[in-house]
Chain A
């Protein structure tokens, strides 16, 4: 049990929240509601998984929120123009990949710090999405796209199937492949990784591209849910994606990553949101609780570390 808690420190808070909500509300522990929570968690966890690689590398991608809107707009307008569903979905993913690739190239080849580079693409991509959609909703009614969120192969909601597959793939890539080890190596000491002969720039570009594709997929899920694309969708999503990763225990400075933690982080956040909804708490309190959760997750870690290290290292102090 202690080993499990050490590896997945979110299990205990999650159980506490679940028990509290089961006692406080009648409707929390119903099958339909739990499914709602898991579907919502799956949708946030999907980009969170890609973002885990980025944070493990010690970098961020702030641009995913805009990728969501541009991918959604591109997919929906393609559907409106009568293109087949497969083409529309592929276009959205390609848009994501191109944005990610651009981020990677700007960060590695032009030497712009990730924070600013992805901040700039955040602004630019949203501009493109607004210009492309002319500020209007691209309303669609596509049963095929709806299947992405509403479908139930073998009775299991589609987002849960998707995120299960993605989690397995991400876990395998992070823990069982050279790629995962390289990502963490770059995160813990980039210069050492470079000197050891790792193709640092190529790995960074690959990770940014991965995050871009995940952003595109996120856009597809959101458009599937709302049956529309819009240049304003996804505002502030970038912080959501980073939040689930950080709550999940991936080190902000890189070098360590927890795929399972990211998924649990998404489940924890969505459980709390769902519980607050059931308790009829206004949305403002939901923001506050997500903020407090974020601080608490890192404060607990900081206090634990305070027992062992008297003097924080330079990197910890500057972060």
Chain B
């Protein structure tokens, strides 16, 4: 049986670590809480965080989307083309529509052609990036530098009451996502399907509709993230954010959402995203070369997951019996990453 302390740790563990890190941060980085630094940390975390919110649903439903890096590149390029053609409104619409379209393509491949999500989204990762490359064959798409006053550019640069607008968008996304996951029937279906697809199907949950919902959600979140991304870096091409998919999945899993499905925590994902950003900021402020930053981040990931792995192993029902009979290890559960 899982103790209530264990359950508390599931949701708030990573948040506790984040708070601890925040307490230490000013010691390492004297100007950590200065307005400039805090704002830049929050602004930087937005696009990763927004996609991670969508990905939490996918992983909670027992699938993951490897194509988000390609989606982000494609959404960014199309959105910048939209801006060139018709200004802010078209740029926003183009980003969201492209994200949605990518999600629908993924869902169609998975449900109609029965390609496993891992392979389908690995394939579309190549395809989406490829399309973005083709669209930028005559050079990366950029925002013209005389557009500083335009409302579109303000998405990335504006501060509202001291908080960066991208971060506020991220907060709003998490608020909506939390309500969706915790307070609606749809959210319960996602979790139910993730914990046992078979049982969920017998309860009348349609796998096809669920897949479409989840992957469309990821796509739209990428569309929103792309807006905060391009209005910050002003340029995009097919190689934008290479390796993004792995960062997103890492943040979600670090937050406590199980790769096996059936368990998802948005508070955890949110904290994990901030944790990674804060850690990054601390390393940068210490002048740690980027090569070593990777080593630290990878190490943090392994440590966090090890703690989780050990905890599950010893908290699982029957662990005593297994410890006695020597048949150690965790109970096999359906899922890809066993």
Contact = CB atoms under 8 A, between A and B. Distances in A.
A173 B294 CA distance: 36
Contact of B124 (A236, A282, A291, A303): A291
A198 to B, nearest CB: 12
Contacts of B337: 59-60, 113-116
Q: How large is the interface on A (under 10, 10 to 19, 20 to 34, 35 or more residues)?
A: 35 or more
**B interface, how many residues as a size bin?**
35 or more
B8 interface: no
Contact of B113 (A111, A115, A285, A303): A303
B129 interface: yes
A305 B294 contact: no
Contacts of A60: 337
A131 B310 contact: no
Given A291-B127, A299-B115, A116 B291 contact: no
A126 interface: yes
B327 interface: yes
A123 B116 contact: no
A116 B336 CA distance: 12
B317 interface: no
Contacts of B334: 314-315, 317-318
A273 to B, nearest CB: 12
Interface string B273-312: 0000000000000000111111101110110011001101
Interface in B180-210: 194, 196-198, 201, 207
Interface string A115-152: 11101111110111111000100000000000000000
A190 B332 contact: yes
B75 interface: no
A264 to B, nearest CB: 17
B232 interface: no
Interface string B98-128: 0000000000010001111111101111110
A58 interface: yes
Interface in A74-131: 106, 110-117, 119-124, 126-131
Given A111-B309, A111-B330, A123-B301, A284 B249 contact: no
B294 A284 contact: no
B63 interface: yes
A24 interface: no
**Which secondary structure dominates chain B's binding surface?**
helix
A44 to B, nearest CB: 15
B244 to A, nearest CB: 12
A298 interface: yes
Contacts of A294: 119, 122-123, 126
Contacts of B198: 313-314, 317
A60 B289 CA distance: 30
A121 B246 CA distance: 12
Interface string A166-201: 000000000000000000000001110011000010
A231 interface: yes
Most B-side CB within 10 Å, residue of A113, A286, A315, A316: A113
Contact of B305 (A117, A231, A235): A117
Given A120-B298, A291-B123, A303-B113, A111 B313 contact: yes
B127 A287 contact: yes
B133 interface: yes
Contacts of B196: 314
B90 interface: no
Contacts of A110: 302, 305-306, 309-310
Given A295-B119, A314-B198, A112 B130 contact: no
B26 interface: no
B122 A115 contact: no
B259 interface: yes
A311 B197 CA distance: 11
B125 A291 contact: yes
B62 interface: yes
B127 A113 contact: no
A243 interface: yes
Nearest to A297: B119
Contacts of B332: 189-191
Interface in B199-255: 201, 207, 238, 242-243, 246, 249-250, 253
Shortest 10 CB-CB contacts between residues of A and residues of B: A302-B114, A291-B126, A127-B294, A111-B309, A284-B133, A124-B298, A130-B291, A288-B130, A123-B298, A299-B113
Interface of A: 58-60, 62, 106, 110-117, 119-124, 126-131, 135, 189-191, 194-195, 200, 231, 235-236, 239, 242-243, 246, 252-253, 282-288, 290-295, 298-299, 302-303, 305-306, 311-319
Given A113-B338, A239-B125, A252-B336, 4 more contacts: A60-B337, A111-B330, A295-B120, A295-B124
21 contacts: A111-B313, A115-B249, A116-B253, A119-B246, A131-B289, A236-B242, A246-B119, A252-B119, A282-B133, A287-B129, A288-B126, A288-B131, A295-B127, A313-B198, A314-B196, A314-B197, A317-B201, A317-B207, A318-B334, A318-B336, A319-B117
